[in-house]
Structure 1
Amino acid sequence: MPFLIETFDKPNHQHVRQASRPEHLAYLEANKALLLACGAKLNDDGSDGGGGLYIVDVDTREAAQAFIEADPFHKVALFAEVTILRWRKAYLDGVRHI
């Protein structure tokens, strides 16, 4: 069953996010087979909202935890908080799955 991972950046760490972004994107590309969806959270004006969402197709919470801990953003201690929840795919890209 997929897992939803939500991250919350530490305050005033935009410089850390920007410095680590190329490695983060390379990590996502290398693991794209696990990604159902992912992206940064944004403010209404389009500026960075300080965190992200990932929906990963892994079998266990431990695998989801290992996925986020291997992310370069996690390795540079960008996150103040990370939540991991099981996720049931009801609709994806307009297709019903239940």
Structure 2
Amino acid sequence: MRWVAIFTDGPEMLAVRREREPAHLAYLQQHHERIRIGGGLREQPGGPFVGGLWVIDADTRDQAVALIENDPYYVPACRSYRLLVWGKALPGDVIL
């Protein structure tokens, strides 16, 4: 099952990003078979990050939540998320 996590960052998240970026990127790499696509969101090119988005393959909502909440970037005081089930329109892998 595919899930989409949409993250919203508070202003304090910038310091978390600076401090934990290497651990976060290692976490994404370690879980690349489940976190299929991930990246930061900005309101404009070159602007500050305001959140992020992941496409997750997980059998259950609990598995997707565990992936999110074990990420070094997940600090509830600085970052919230919305988790939605996603159905892809066309079959096959996505190539970006």
Same fold, judged at TM 0.5 (above): yes
Equivalent residue letter for 2:7? T
Q: Which has the higher helix share?
A: 1
Which blocks of at least 5 consecutive residues in structure 2 are unaligned?
A: none
Q: TM (normalized to structure 2)?
A: 0.84
Does residue 25 in structure 1 map to residue 18 in structure 2? no
Over aligned residue pairs, what C-alpha RMSD do you find?
A: 1.8
Q: How far apart, in 1, do the equivalents of 2:64 and 2:29 lie?
A: 17
1:43 Cα offset (Å): 2.6
Q: How far apart, in 2, do the equivalents of 1:6 and 1:76 lie?
A: 14
Q: How far apart, in 2, do the equivalents of 1:9 and 1:75 lie?
A: 10
Q: How far apart, in 2, do the equivalents of 1:75 and 1:11 lie?
A: 12
Question: Counterparts in 2 of 1:15-54, with a 5 A limit?
Answer: 15-54=15-54
- How many residues matched? 93
Q: Structure 1 residues 85, 73: CA separation in 2 closer, same or farther (over 3 Å shift)?
A: same
Equivalent residue letter for 2:71? D
Q: How far apart, in 1, do the equivalents of 2:12 and 2:69 lie?
A: 21
1:16 Cα offset (Å): 1.5
For the residue of structure 2 that corresponds to 1:59, the secondary structure is coil
- Equivalent in the alignment of 2:95: 93
Q: How far apart, in 2, do the equivalents of 1:88 and 1:18 lie?
A: 33
